[in-house]
Structure 1
């Protein structure tokens, strides 16, 4: 029950930040944006204290750790892979064009329309 109240408070903080953005219509733009950011940051702080918030932030930190372990391709490998994909796309386009053109010729001959 306490978690649900905390989630409601977090939602209300975000809503208050957005309401502040519109309430400060005649103020400087930076104050309007800061009101939204403050609402979101306070809501994140409250959300962090809930069970689902702790689970989410644990998942996020595990995701960052996993992304650091990924072996990213080098620039050369990326360029070579991109070239293979583009070449394959061009070859497939030409193949499909040839199949389409030949089928069109066959259908035209069958229907008695010769060009």
Structure 2
């Protein structure tokens, strides 16, 4: 992965762009809420339009460009992963399932044993 340092927004223009993106996103949310009388596709269209416009505005800021670069790097990393075969995945899933069942039985046994010791022997309850 990238060794980029985390930085805050330092330029006034980037702050304005990110603030405008937030306002456009909020406008899309408000439009969805206000257009109750309209058909559903109009309401969803207003929200999606606000979402897309906010993403475009944010993408032109320095922070947006770094976020897109990070997304591209993350995508490239997932392409390099060697995924297990179906047989390996099935075998690993069976092992995990068996371990969960064994731990469940162990915890149930410990609970019953402690309950018997505390309630049966120490307190004398039946």
CA offsets per residue over residues 63-111 of structure 1, 9 Å max, x none? 1111111111111111101111121222333344445555666668865
Higher-helix-fraction structure: 1
The alignment covers a number of residue pairs equal to 114
C-alpha RMSD over aligned residues: 2.3
Does residue 35 of the first structure (1) align with residue 46 of the second (2)? yes
State the structure with more CA Rg: 1
Whether 2:30 is the aligned partner of 1:19: answer yes
1:54 and 2:65 equivalent? yes
Alpha carbons of 1:4 and 1:83: their partners in 2 closer, same or farther (altered >3 Å)?
same
Cα distance in 1 between the residues matched to 2:119 and 2:30? 67
Task: Name structure 2 gaps, 5 residues minimum.
Answer: 1-11
For residues 30 and 19 of structure 1, what CA distance do their matches in structure 2 show? 15
- So what's the TM-score if we normalise by structure 2? 0.76
Q: TM-score, normalised by structure 1?
A: 0.82
- 1:42, 1:107 → 2: CA distance? 64
Q: How far did 1:16 drift? A: 1.2
**Aligned with residue 92 of structure 1, among 103, 111, 119:** 103
Once the 2 structures are TM-superposed, how far is the Cα of residue 23 of structure 1 from its aligned partner?
2.5
